[in-house]
Amino acid sequence: MVRARVARDFLLLVLAAVLMVGLLGCTGQAAAGGKIALHPQELDFGVVPSSAPVHRVARVRNEGDGWLEITGISTSCGCTTAEMTKRHLAPGEAADLKVTFDPQVHRGETGRFLRQVYIRSTDPDTPEATFTFWVTVVGAESDPEPVGEGGIRGLRR
Cβ atoms of 81 and 118 within 8 Å: the answer is: no
Give the chain's domain count.
Answer: 1
Tell me the C-alpha distance between 117 and 105, whole Å. Answer: 17
Give the torsion through C-alpha atoms of 144, 146, 149, 152, to 10 deg: 20
Side chain identity at 123, as an amino acid letter?
A: D
Each of the 157 residues of the chain gets a pLDDT tens digit; together they read 666 665 666 655 555 555 454 544 444 344 579 999 999 999 999 999 999 999 999 999 999 999 999 999 999 999 999 999 999 999 999 999 999 999 999 998 999 999 999 999 999 999 999 999 999 999 876 544 444 444 444 443 3
Residue 20 lies in a domain: no
Residue 25 lies in a domain: no
User: pTM of the entire structure?
Assistant: 0.71
Range of the domain at 109: 36-153
Please report, for the domain that includes residue 41, its CATH number. 2.60.40.10
Tell me the C-alpha distance between 2 and 107, whole Å. Answer: 89
Cβ atoms of 145 and 103 within 8 Å: the answer is: no
Residue 82 lies in a domain: yes
